[in-house]
Amino acid sequence: MHYHLRAFHPEDYPAAYAPWRRTPGLSLSARADSRAAIEVFLRHNPGLSFVLVTEQDELVGTILGGFDGRRGYIHHLAVAVEHQGRGLGRVLVQRCLEAFAQLGLEKVHALVYTANRRGQGFWEHLGWRRRGDLVIYTWAFEPA
């Protein structure tokens, strides 16, 4: 099967949400992962998010790249279960890293839940280094 890698567009959202929902270890937020929020994310981070589609234009993989002005962050790397094991996650990560490199970034981070052993194994297999010197703290705003 052949795949095509292209930019993530707002109209990809409905097709992208399905693999996100079915990916173990990928957490979704009603607010932060709404269509409106993803559209804002894409506008604020142009050229950093990608999708993989089949020859029949079926969306089978996504990666969202974010840039805060200092570091890159990878969000929502997901490949449909029936297409996993073919190196598609690696392809998505590599393309996102190429886009980050064009910005001259020094580092890119991927946050993985501690219980997501499979996800941790994926990143380690790609040569990413697990940080033991950081703890993430979160402040959550109440909905308005």
CATH 3.40.1280.10 corresponds to the domain 3-125: no
Domain spans, the chain: 3-125
Q: 137 by DSSP, 3-state: which?
A: coil
CA 85 vs CA 37, 49, 80: distances in Å: 30, 21, 10
Q: How far is CA 118 from the centre of its chain?
A: 15
Q: Write out the two tokens for 11.
A: 């109209």
pTM: 0.94
**From first to last of its 144 residues, what are the pLDDT tens digits of the chain?**
899 999 999 999 999 999 999 999 999 999 999 999 999 999 999 999 999 999 999 999 999 999 999 999 999 999 999 999 999 999 999 999 999 999 999 999 999 999 999 999 999 999 999 999 999 999 988 877
Instruction: Write out the two tokens for 67.
Output: 């840039």
